[in-house]
Amino acid sequence: MFYPRALHIDQFKTSSFLFGPRMTGKTTLLHSIISVEYIDLMDPDLELSYKSDPKLFWQQLSALPKGSLIIVDEVQKVPVLLNYVQKAMDTMDQRFILSGSSARKLKRGGANLLGGRALDLKLYPLTTDELKNDFHMDRALHYGTLPKICDLLHARQTDLVKQHLKSYITTYIREEIQAEALTRNLGAFNRFLNIAAQANGQVIEFANISRECSVPMSTVKEYFQILEDTLIGFFLWPWDRSERKKARPKFYFFDCGVARAIQNRLNDPPTMVETGILFETWLVNELHRMRDYSQKEHTFSFWRQREEEVDILISNSRGPVFAIECKTGRGDLRRPTITQFRKTFPKVPLVVASLRDNKPRKIGTQDVWPWQQVLTYYKDNL
């Protein structure tokens, strides 16, 4: 089943990098774009020929008309080609879409990142807007929204869904980590990955994870950096005027299904506690995707002051503008939390995003909105 993507990459009239985790549909999206030349570096023969003779790539570009749109899929496999990409952009006004699962290998290898001449775009798992009527929250929390997974769920092939998700992390380690030589100690990285998945959506204690993995804390931080660079997850930092206090972030995996696969929980429905973490994970990711696809200039953080905490704080260049607390049941925010938040941010709207409510309601002065209303407000008003 084809899902129209919210990222309309062909609307940009300049060259672009397109990065995204595996199985997010980059190749499918690229094949939908009309181009003069499509170069697929997943072809091992083509990859080897360019590695052996990079100038061949330049000779082929030179034979194409000026102003051509050229797509290079998995460009990180032959980073030296980027030197010729820049040359073609400068001398022949050619435009490129360059895809890959991450920019980590390019950056670490000192590859030419085109000096700001290309946009940095990201492709994510499917959003509610992309899935439309095919979106089901329970499925999203249980299995995630990778396009292939959504196809299989639509066809009611749940066993295949589980197989694909279980193999995802094996493929990630084999093709992304080992093949790209991102870390030499795969055993330690595997142990770390399992522990990091258990800590999904929670405040990260680097020292504790270091002890459990039996690796130095510096290595744990490097492993988290690998997850960020390969777009498997991201840190959400606490909001604070003092950068020195930003020492205990939360970490969210990019997809609920992948996180549950690493945790080996796919055979059972989420528990009540797990559902709360998954809903928060999904909402934080959904907001990130909406922000990036619509090119909003927002930053996300969470607010914490002693025992009081609010899950998501959205800020623009002038400061916080909207706050969200995620709730899976009928409960509301603790009064001390509301009081302390209002003292800190008297003019910032604070709402509860409810998983189960179908209509907005009010508890005292506190607004409780269905999660759909929260997303609509973010899309249309911020």
Residue 254 has which token pair?
């990019």
DSSP per position, 249-306: -EEEES-HHHHHHHTT-TTSPPPHHHHHHHHHHHHHHHHHHHHHHHT---EEEEEEET
Distance CA 106, CA 140 (A): 32
Beta-carbon count within 10 A of 358 CB: 8
The overall average pLDDT reported for the chain is 91
Determine the residue type at 292: D
Separation CA 5–CA 69 (nearest Å): 20
- Mutual orientation of helices 371-381 and 272-294 as an angle, nearest 10°? 20
The full set of domains in the chain, from first to last, is 9-122 (3.40.50.300), 128-273 (1.10.10), 296-381 (3.40.1350)
- 31 CB-near residues (< 8 Å, 6+ apart): 38
Q: Is the dihedral of CA 46, 167, 103, 93 positive or negative?
A: positive
| Average pLDDT of span 370-380 | 97
Kindly tell me if the per-residue pLDDT of 244 is higher than 50. Answer: no
Specify the 3-state DSSP secondary structure of 217: helix
Q: What is the mean pLDDT of residues 308-315?
A: 96
Distance (Å, whole) CA 171 – CA 219? 22
**What is the sign of the dihedral through the CA atoms of 257, 196, 285 and 176?**
negative
Q: In which band, very low, low, confident or very high, does the pLDDT at 241 lie, cut at 50, 70 and 90?
A: low
Task: Measure CA of the first residue to CA of the last residue in the chain; give whole Å.
Answer: 32
How many Å apart are CA 377 and CA 199, to the nearest integer? Answer: 30
For residue 333, the model assigns a pLDDT of 81
- Angle between the 44-52 and 55-62 helix axes, to the nearest 10 degrees? 100
pTM for this entry: 0.93
Under a CB-based contact definition with an 8 Å cutoff, are residues 261 and 165 in contact?
A: yes
Structure tokens at 300: 């996300």
> What is the model's pLDDT at position 178?
74
| 8 Å CB contact between 316 and 298 | yes
Sign of torsion over alpha carbons 341, 246, 187, 20: positive
Which residues share a beta bridge with 313? 301, 323
DSSP string, 172-199: IIIIIIITTTS-S-HHHHHHHHHHHHHT
Going by C-beta distance under 8 Å and a sequence separation of 6 or more, which residues neighbour residue 21? 101, 124, 125, 230, 231, 232, 254, 255
At 114, the pLDDT band (50, 70, 90 cuts) reads confident
Cα 78 to chain centroid, rounded:
24
Residue 267 is encoded by which pair of tokens?
């055979």
Q: What angle do CA 380, 2, 99 make, to 5 degrees?
A: 80
In percent, how much of the chain has pLDDT > 70? 95
Which of the given ranges, 235-244, 305-314, 370-379, has the highest pLDDT on average?
370-379
Indicate the helix (H) or strand (E) that contains 162: helix 158-171
Q: Is the pLDDT of residue 147 over 80?
A: yes
CA distance 60 to 165: 39
| pLDDT grade for 246, boundaries at 50, 70 and 90 | low
Is the predicted pLDDT of residue 64 greater than 70, yes or no?
Answer: yes
307, HSE (Cβ side, Cα atoms, 13 Å): 5
User: Can you tell me the distance from the alpha carbon of 217 to that of 37, in angstroms, rounded to the nearest whole number?
Assistant: 46
Q: What is the DSSP letter of 367?
A: E
Q: What is the pLDDT of residue 248?
A: 86
How far is it, in rounded angstroms, from Cα 256 to Cα 272? 15
**Angle, CA 139 vertex, CA 131 and CA 30 arms, to 5°:** 40
Structure tokens at 298: 């927002």
Output the six-digit token pair for 45. Answer: 């023969």
